[in-house]
Amino acid sequence: MIVFEAFIIIFLLVLIFWLGSHLYSTIFYVPYVNASNQAIRDALKLGELEKDQLFLDLGSGRGDALIIANKEFFAKAIGYEISPLPYLLSKIRVFLSGDRSIDILRKDFRQAKSEIKNADLIYLYLFEKVLKKNERFLFDNLSAKGKIVTLAFKFPNRKPIKIKATKNLGIETKIYLYQKQTLDKM
């Protein structure tokens, strides 16, 4: 009986942590939404990510894009995730992947100015309202060589230099590639 009660208590604590994490990210930031590995690969190919380049995932979720960038493209990968549960899951998944060179930070990506300035490719899978809110900050801090690739949603005041169709979780969508000088409204 004690084992069953302990299991129920642990289950309830995990459930409360999971719900609390989702509420926290939904209320204060954006809800966690997964992307398919193929859509991530398509985005990184569109961004022409290469070996030893600095790759940032701002809102890195479970760490899928970080692991793919590091394992398949051999890039230095850094992720920013504010929500507790996806952050914890990403740390576990990166540990289990065996790669110790992927960094995941639990903080707001607006604290990543120096990393953004040095990034070769920034990956974003964020709602359009979040892209709009952070558009100026990102492009003000992006270097001339840096690129930003967005999955499914686009910046409202920037014209992408390339657009590619992809399938994400069974739904047809687009990937948008930007560079600093793409200031014209589309």
Task: Please give the pLDDT value at position 21.
Answer: 58
Question: Which is more confident, 16 or 167?
Answer: 167
Query: Do 90 and 66 meet the contact criterion of CB atoms below 8 Å apart?
Result: yes
| Residue 146, SS3 per DSSP | coil
| Residue 168, SS3 per DSSP | strand
Query: Do 71 and 79 meet the contact criterion of CB atoms below 8 Å apart?
Result: no
- Residue among 139, 142, 137, 134 at smallest CA distance from 117: 142
Rg (CA), the chain: 17
| Residue 78, SS3 per DSSP | strand
Q: Which fold has domain 35-179?
A: Rossmann fold (3.40.50)
Indicate if the alpha-carbon torsion angle 96, 36, 170, 132 is positive or negative. Answer: positive
Confidence of residue 186 (pLDDT cuts 50, 70, 90): very low
Query: Do 37 and 14 meet the contact criterion of CB atoms below 8 Å apart?
Result: no
Q: Is the pLDDT of residue 29 over 60?
A: no
Confidence of residue 2 (pLDDT cuts 50, 70, 90): confident
Query: Do 78 and 56 meet the contact criterion of CB atoms below 8 Å apart?
Result: yes
> Which tens digits make up the pLDDT trace of 89-112?
999 999 998 887 899 999 899 999
Question: Which of the residue ranges 23-37, 45-59, 156-170, 171-185 would you say has the lowest mean pLDDT?
Answer: 23-37
Contacts of 179 (CB under 8 A, 6+ apart): 142, 146, 147, 148, 161
Give the mean model confidence (pLDDT) for residues 173-185.
79
> Which tens digits make up the pLDDT trace of 117-141?
999 999 999 989 899 999 999 999 9
Question: How many other β-carbons are positioned within 10 Å of the β-carbon of residue 177?
Answer: 19
What's this model's pTM, rounded to 2 decimal places? 0.84
Question: How many other β-carbons are positioned within 10 Å of the β-carbon of residue 41?
Answer: 17
Confidence of residue 34 (pLDDT cuts 50, 70, 90): confident
> Which tens digits make up the pLDDT trace of 37-73?
999 999 999 999 999 999 999 999 999 999 999 999 9
Task: Please give the pLDDT value at position 97.
Answer: 87
Q: Which two tokens stand for residue 70?
A: 């590091």
Domain boundaries, given as residue ranges, for the chain = 35-179
Question: How many other β-carbons are positioned within 10 Å of the β-carbon of residue 85?
Answer: 20
> Which tens digits make up the pLDDT trace of 63-94?
999 999 999 999 999 999 988 888 999 999 99
